[in-house]
Amino acid sequence: MNKTNISSKKKILIVDDSELNRSLLSDMLADDFDIIEAENGVQAVVTLQEHELDISLMLLDIVMPEMDGFDVLAMMNKRGWIKTIPVIMISAETGSSYIDRAYDLGAVDYISRPFDERTVKHRVMSNFMLALKQKELSDMLSAEIYEREHDNRLMVEILSHIVEFRNGESGLHILHVSTFTDMILKRLLKITDKYKLTQADINTIVNASALHDIGKMSVPESILNKPGRLTKEEFEIMKLHTVEGEKLLNNIPYRSSETLITVACEICRWHHERYNGNGYPDGLMGDAIPISAQAVALADVYDALTSKRVYKDSFTHEKAVEMIQNGECGAFNPLLLKCLTDIQAELKKELKETSYGRDIDKKVGENVESMLKKSGSDVSERTIRLLEHERMKYRFFAGLSHEVMFEYVPEPEMIILSEWGAEYLGLPERIVDPAKSDLGTRVFSKVDFNRMMTHMRATTPENPRIEDKFLLTINGERRWNRIIVQTLWSGDENPEFDGALGKFVDVNDETQEMQQLEQKADYDSLTGLMNHAAAKRKITKLLSDAGGRKYALLFFDLDNLKTANDVYGHLFGDKLLKEVAARMMKNTRSSDICARMGGDEFIIFMEYKESLEHQVARIFKCLTKPLDDFNVSVSMGVARAEHYCGDYDTLFHMADQAAYAVKYGGKNSYKFYSNTDADQVDKQ
């Protein structure tokens, strides 16, 4: 045990449901480590989620509530944590089946109770040192792979540049061909498994593609750079660059069996073959031509067409694709032609953007990544640093913006709020099982929260964005918020849902303003009642959702508004209208609808249970009470929506007809619509 090897204290996670056991262990280890405690499996997973990169070792009990130790191990396997965090099991269970199961799940050691201070310290320290060494080695390895890969790539680039220089080509040709080959093959991998390609194969082909014209070293410069048409003899010499290239590579001592060389040989020899058998040097047909050479040939032709050469000008992307598809420039595998069509948009973009340094780095990055995957160590120090950097960036911006930002983790299901967001909402930063938490039941209504989650699950990698407006309850206050969510997907060939990021934008003030404007447009300015258009809209909706409910429409006009205006003046006329509106509001429920149609015409739309007659009589009586000695007189028609399933207009027409009948029957009364009214009206 050598403490000087540890510069700063490393973190240990102790998971045990007994507080006493945790503090006993913590007491023994506190001198050498920082201790984080968790009292059940769920807490342990949540802590791992948060501190994944900092935790050096974990002590894990087996028998616990919520999630037991085996469940935690299973989750660690699923999330890949088990590869980087050594786990020592602790338990009074000494049955060998328990121990075996823990080892099978990736635990590195086992300490049984009762704890002995020396044993605990020793086991923890030695496992910790072992993991540390392992990590150092894997970091060294990945750094070395990175260097080597970088050098290799650079050598290939230099070599192909020499060739290009001699050909008098643009200098970007090799780069373009590799990039296009990469894009074509990646697309091919998506649409078919006919060629048994792996990502690693594609990397090799892309690398080797840089050497496709290396045989041109053997072609005299006078032919290579001749501006006019080549003679038949000259062309025969030119054609030899294919076989010469292969020969050149094959003659590299001791290296002929390297995959890169084998693939480069295929490409050199056959990148001028044609799918219909009319190419050179061997006249191979169809898939007798290796897919590597087929892809490079297509990329080569596309780039040749879109670039300027001594003997031709450049064509546009569209023209080049058209010429290739029409068979004007060679003959290609229909599957590859489909790839070309599929990736058109990206190709066009790439054609504009490709620059040198960026490309080397991207390729080296990809190669290192695939090599590391093969060798099994997947978190290098470099990756961790990058991740940490990203997190700092995220926290910094999240802290500045004063918006609620969040991250959704699907397994174990939780929502992580930004620091500011958690404080603003009055919730913890980490919310496990969000649908049942305060967030999913109080801040959101349950229905809204479910709606958001359903929408989120319905997104796709192509369409990962959702936006929706919700009325949230934040610290007791109801506020409209727009929620924007971007779902995340794993970056491989078959993307899987991998969580989401999102933020809340408070749109309460603008929403309220909008609602106020809407309200203004919906209401009559004199009486404050709804106007006809708004009433019609609401009533239509109520009628369509009526179910078993019974509704009636009361339509009336004032018999003597004109007299009121003439005798008492317009101010009194306005007063009368306002008074009628007030009486309407006072004698109906808030769920009923009262509206001024315009002029002296009004409607009331209301629900009734048993005796509509009684309700109507009461309303009529109240409406017709005198106002300052003025006798208010109304003619009212009533139509029931019961037994009828028409639209608002029909209902309105019925009430109108009944009111009409009252008008012509002596005014100041009310009448229920019946079919005979219609006849009467027709007779008038």
Partner 1 sequence: MDIKECYAKMGGNYDDVMSRLRTDERIKKFLLKVAEDKSFDNLCDAMSVHNIEEAFRAAHTLKGVCSNLSITRMYETASAMTEALRGKTEFSDEWLPLLEKLKTDYANTVECIRAID
Binding site for partner 1 (CB under 8 A): 17-21, 23-24, 27, 63-65, 91-92, 113-117
Q: Is the dihedral of CA 495, 496, 499, 502 positive or negative?
A: positive
Quote the CA–CA distance of 31 and 410 in Å, as a whole number: 37
Q: Which is nearer to partner 1, 61 or 213 (CB)?
A: 61
CB of 73 to partner 1, least distance (A): 18
Q: Which is nearer to partner 1, 40 or 615 (CB)?
A: 40
CB of 115 to partner 1, least distance (A): 6
Quote the CA–CA distance of 190 and 335 in Å, as a whole number: 11
Burial class of residue 90 (count of CB atoms within 10 Å of its CB; 0-12, 13-18, 19+): buried
**Planar angle of CA 33, 36, 42, nearest 5 degrees:** 145
Q: Which is nearer to partner 1, 21 or 84 (CB)?
A: 21
Q: Which is nearer to partner 1, 36 or 120 (CB)?
A: 120
Q: Which is nearer to partner 1, 63 or 533 (CB)?
A: 63
CB of 59 to partner 1, least distance (A): 13
CB of 21 to partner 1, least distance (A): 6
Q: State the helix-helix crossing angle for 173-191 and 344-353, rounded to 10 degrees.
A: 160
CB of 58 to partner 1, least distance (A): 18
CB of 98 to partner 1, least distance (A): 12
The residues, any chain, with a CB within 8 Å of residue 514's CB and separated by 6 or more, are none
CB of 100 to partner 1, least distance (A): 18
Which region, left, alpha or beta, applies to residue 125 given φ > 0 means left and ψ of -120 to 50 means alpha? alpha
Quote the CA–CA distance of 561 and 502 in Å, as a whole number: 59
Q: Which is nearer to partner 1, 117 or 287 (CB)?
A: 117
For the chain, how far is it from start to end, CA to CA, in angstroms? 112
> Considering only CA atoms, which of 435, 437, 503, 443 is closest in space to residue 476?
443
CB of 105 to partner 1, least distance (A): 20
Residue 391, both tokens: 């997190």
Q: Which is nearer to partner 1, 63 or 162 (CB)?
A: 63
CB of 56 to partner 1, least distance (A): 24
Q: How far is CA 204 from CA 149, 239, 370, 393, in A?
A: 12, 25, 11, 35
Longest dimension (CA), the chain: 121
SS3 content of the chain, % helix, strand, coil (to 5): 55, 15, 30
Residue 676, both tokens: 């005979």
Burial class of residue 609 (count of CB atoms within 10 Å of its CB; 0-12, 13-18, 19+): exposed
CB of 64 to partner 1, least distance (A): 7
DSSP state of 556: E
Quote the CA–CA distance of 340 and 321 in Å, as a whole number: 8
> Considering only CA atoms, which of 212, 228, 220 is closest in space to residue 267?
212
Q: Which is nearer to partner 1, 63 or 517 (CB)?
A: 63
Q: Which is nearer to partner 1, 27 or 510 (CB)?
A: 27
CB of 404 to partner 1, least distance (A): 37
Q: Which is nearer to partner 1, 123 or 272 (CB)?
A: 123
Q: Which is nearer to partner 1, 64 or 263 (CB)?
A: 64
